[in-house]
Structure 1
Amino acid sequence: MSTVFDCRDDSQILAGMRHARQAIARGELVVLPTDTVYGLAADAFTPAAVQRLLDAKGRGREMPPPVLVAGPDVLAALVEEVPEAVQKLVDAFWPGGLTIVLPAQPSLTWDLGETLGTVAVRMPDHRIALELLAETGPLAVSSANLTGRDAAVIASDAEAMLGESVAVYLEYGYSENGVPSTIVDATSLVGATEDDRPLVRILRDGAVTREQLEEVLGDLLEKAEQPGDVVPADAAAGEGPVDEE
């Protein structure tokens, strides 16, 4: 049976975090608040838990979930390389609404789905999410909704869609803005030489604007040639690990 904890209530937050941590350790699912939309979380290093997440949402392995981390230092452990331009993005927008796609560290023993050898990583800007991540380590986190439905902006909406497939719901009221993260593909920067012209590509518009990215990346940001070049919401499937969160 699912349990709901209102983390705005000091008398419930400790119990809620404990139950959420224990659920993750058992390979179960947790719904948690983030600074974008509510997320559906599973242990990133437990393949059965990640599959449970995909099953709960009604999606296949071709749409693997991003990974949320508690701090920028964790990024280096999950990816093959952190290029200088990516570090500038991290410094500017983490914690916050920017998800960065990079080649995954080959030595990692995990199975997020058909990632094409990449991983999408974000550090959220929300106290509850960061506290849980600090205790559990990296979590595979997708938006807390059924595929094709709007992302939940309050835990009760997630519960109405996901029901008993989730062990613990951490409620924290409505999301601050309900806008999913911006997703950028920085894979071309890894291993690039001076003769190459690597560019960072926006896979999905979201909380961080193109103008903000241009201020940090300059000419390294791929130009938007057509209005339809950037894909919204969950239409970005097939671009590696792209998701609504």
Structure 2
Amino acid sequence: MEGISGSSCILSQSHRTSGVRTIAELLENGGVCGIPTDTVYALAASCKHPDAIKRIYTIKERPTEKPVCICISNLDQLRAINPPFSPLLWRFMDLVYPGGISCIVQKGEWLKKLGVGPAYGQVGTHQSIMIRVPDHTVTSHLTDITGPIAITSANPSGESDSTHHDMVISRLSDKLDAVLCDGTSNEVVGSTVVNCLKIDEGIVTILREGCVSSTKIMQLFEVAKTMEDMM
């Protein structure tokens, strides 16, 4: 198989099981790939390979002080390891995931049980981690195979998001091992980033408004608080 070694970028088709498995194999072996999500295209690297995550920064020319997030397939992966999240945080996440929202939560040893151990120092900040659970069948299936992956938007730093696999190919294919081609993206902007670090004080903060409006986020937060009050 080509890729990883610096040979030509592989183009795989998302509607083919073999195409998704090709990307999964490349990620498992330390590759960096362009993949579709429920918002825009992303660059992905396995959390088993810290050096691959470092490559993402080089490929994008991304400032090192800007953290990348992790992507998992569903909340059951988190529940299985029982991180120390409050009931309110769980209720909020149940309402917003899966979807075009990224939640910032407290970092901790629980990440290592999730499979992020090797990349613990390459994702998030010293204190926090941003989690994505995309509402996208292909991305979910891919992360079911690989486990947690580190992702960030598939564009050179400072440029617009990639909304079609052709954009990823034309901009970055010479630096990538593969692109999972899925046509036009579902959105024209990335996820909405929500800081949940003070959620138990009754505060969530919108750090970046993306495809989900701030108004919708705050409505869901109010619902989560009401549900907790009813318990």
Shorter-chain-normalised TM-score: which range? 0.7 to 0.9
1:86 corresponding residue in structure 2: 89
Cα 1:25–1:116 shift into 2, 3 Å: same
Which residue of the other structure, out of 186, 191, 194, is the alignment partner of 1:181?
A: 191
Cα 1:200–1:78 shift into 2, 3 Å: farther
Give secondary structure in 1 for the equivalent of 2:150.
strand
Once residues 34 and 25 of structure 1 are traced to their aligned partners in structure 2, the CA distance between those partners, rounded to angstroms, is 19
Q: Is the Cα contact below 8 Å between 2:155 and 2:161 reproduced in 1? A: yes
Q: Is the Cα contact below 8 Å between 2:12 and 2:23 reproduced in 1? A: no
Cα 1:114–1:127 shift into 2, 3 Å: closer
1:213 corresponding residue in structure 2: 217
* Match runs of 1:67-78 below 5 Å: 67-76=70-79
Which residue of the other structure, out of 58, 62, 65, is the alignment partner of 1:59?
A: 62
Q: How much is the aligned-residue C-alpha RMSD, in angstroms?
A: 2.2
Which residue of the other structure, out of 203, 206, 209, is the alignment partner of 1:202?
A: 206
Once residues 71 and 114 of structure 1 are traced to their aligned partners in structure 2, the CA distance between those partners, rounded to angstroms, is 19
Once residues 112 and 98 of structure 1 are traced to their aligned partners in structure 2, the CA distance between those partners, rounded to angstroms, is 21
Which residue of the other structure, out of 170, 174, 181, is the alignment partner of 1:164?
A: 174
Once residues 179 and 82 of structure 2 are traced to their aligned partners in structure 1, the CA distance between those partners, rounded to angstroms, is 30
Percentage identity across paired residues of the two chains = 26
Structure 2 residue identity aligned to 1:211: T
Once residues 117 and 208 of structure 1 are traced to their aligned partners in structure 2, the CA distance between those partners, rounded to angstroms, is 25
1:224 corresponding residue in structure 2: none
TM-score w.r.t. the length of structure 1 is: 0.79
Aligned residues: 211
Give 1:82 shift.
Answer: 2.2
Task: Structure 1 unaligned segments of length 5 or more: list them.
Answer: 222-245
Residues 41-68 of structure 1 show CA distances to partners (whole Å, capped at 9, x for unaligned) of: 0012321011011111101321121111
2:20 corresponding residue in structure 1: 17
Which residue of the other structure, out of 131, 136, 147, is the alignment partner of 1:121?
A: 131
Give 1:80 shift.
Answer: 4.9
Once residues 113 and 105 of structure 1 are traced to their aligned partners in structure 2, the CA distance between those partners, rounded to angstroms, is 12
Give secondary structure in 1 for the equivalent of 2:179.
strand
Cα 1:162–1:79 shift into 2, 3 Å: farther
Structure 1 residue identity aligned to 2:209: D
Once residues 141 and 122 of structure 1 are traced to their aligned partners in structure 2, the CA distance between those partners, rounded to angstroms, is 9
Moved over 6 A (4+): none
Q: Is the Cα contact below 8 Å between 1:54 and 1:61 reproduced in 2? A: yes
Once residues 164 and 125 of structure 2 are traced to their aligned partners in structure 1, the CA distance between those partners, rounded to angstroms, is 29
Give 1:73 shift.
Answer: 2.1
2:106 corresponding residue in structure 1: 103
Structure 2 residue identity aligned to 1:131: H
Cα 1:118–1:43 shift into 2, 3 Å: same
Q: Is the Cα contact below 8 Å between 1:200 and 1:220 reproduced in 2? A: no
Cα 1:77–1:66 shift into 2, 3 Å: farther
Give 1:5 shift.
Answer: 1.7
Task: Structure 2 unaligned segments of length 5 or more: list them.
Answer: 1-7, 226-231
Once residues 194 and 81 of structure 2 are traced to their aligned partners in structure 1, the CA distance between those partners, rounded to angstroms, is 17
Once residues 125 and 176 of structure 1 are traced to their aligned partners in structure 2, the CA distance between those partners, rounded to angstroms, is 10
Structure 1 residue identity aligned to 2:162: A
Structure 2 residue identity aligned to 1:117: Q
Q: Is the Cα contact below 8 Å between 2:91 and 2:224 reproduced in 1? A: no
Give secondary structure in 2 for the equivalent of 1:187.
coil
Structure 1 residue identity aligned to 2:85: V
Structure 1 residue identity aligned to 2:57: L
Give 1:77 shift.
Answer: 6.7
Cα 1:179–1:77 shift into 2, 3 Å: farther
